[in-house]
Amino acid sequence: MKTCVIIGSVPVKNSNLLKEYCTESFVVCADGGLDVAQQHGIIPDLLVGDFDSAKSEPPAGVEVIRLPVHKDESDTMFAVREAMRRGYQEFILMGVLGGERFDHSYAALCVLQFIAMQSGRGVAVGDGCQVFVLSSGRLRLRDMAGQGVSVFPFGVPSCMVTYQGLEYPLNRHTLYSQDPLGVSNQILDSSAEIILHSGIALIIVQEPNF
């Protein structure tokens, strides 16, 4: 399954990782994500947005979908919908976490939930972290021993989960949105997994020293 990489306007520090993800992927810049891509020498396949925050001019020959300033969805959400319309179901979102706008970071988590509920697979990659939203099934965490992991219900009052290969195991345990019990666990095994039995789960994997 070919991957779609969507680049937002939050600066990306890890240039090598961004370039690795973009290699052989369909790359979409959402508005100011064009500036981020150009800083790292990446030429996107598609640009979308109202371009109210982009400082760079679209490169010649790159497809552009211009959106009105007053619209009902974020540029990132439009980018995902457009990529899905073109057949993509696997997404990597970069440049969407952190920055000066917490509300934009939260909106990116909502986009991850949308992807999951459309039977797609998505991850938002930030500095030293990866964020997933799981609406069914399980998330396998391979070769991540030593990294931290936190799990919370997302958009629902609770979720039921089982952990395998984590420091603090759970077996069909219910996590509640008002109780952050799922914070600050640790991956012990080279092949760990989080199984979702009900609800929707937000899963944050954090590298050490971040």
Q: What is the pLDDT along the chain (210 residues), one digit of tens a residue?
A: 589 999 999 999 999 999 999 999 999 999 899 999 999 999 999 999 887 666 777 888 999 999 888 877 889 999 999 999 999 999 999 999 987 789 999 999 999 999 999 999 999 999 899 999 999 999 999 999 999 999 999 999 999 999 999 999 999 999 999 999 999 999 999 999 999 999 999 999 999 875
Superfamily of domain 3-127: Thiamin pyrophosphokinase, catalytic domain (3.40.50.10240)
Distance (Å, whole) CA 180 – CA 95: 26
Give me the phi and psi of 103, to 5 degrees please: -65, -35
Domain covering 138-206, topology: Jelly Rolls (2.60.120)
> What pLDDT, on a 0 to 100 scale, did the predictor assign at position 57?
79
Query: Residue 126 belongs to what H/E stretch?
Result: strand 121-126
Tell the residue number behind the tokens 């640009």, with chain if given: 47
**Reading across the β-sheet that carries 63-66, which strands appear in turn?**
63-66, 46-49, 26-30, 3-7, 90-94, 121-126, 129-134, 201-206, 148-153, 185-186
> What pLDDT, on a 0 to 100 scale, did the predictor assign at position 58?
81
Pairing type for strands 185-186 and 148-153 reads antiparallel
Q: Give 158-161 contacts, CB < 8 A, sequence gap 24+.
A: 158/198, 158/199, 159/196, 159/198, 159/199, 159/200, 159/201, 160/196, 160/197, 160/198, 160/199, 161/194, 161/195, 161/196, 161/197, 161/201
> What pLDDT, on a 0 to 100 scale, did the predictor assign at position 25?
96
The CA-atom distances, in angstroms, between 20 and each of 4, 123, 168 are 13, 15, 33
Question: Quick check: 171 and 161 in contact, CB under 8 A?
Answer: no
> What pLDDT, on a 0 to 100 scale, did the predictor assign at position 1?
58
Tell the residue number behind the tokens 């989960």, with chain if given: 161
Q: What are the boundaries of each domain within the chain?
A: 3-127, 138-206
Q: Which of 114, 115, 119, 201 is nearest to 158 (CA)?
A: 201
Global pTM value: 0.92
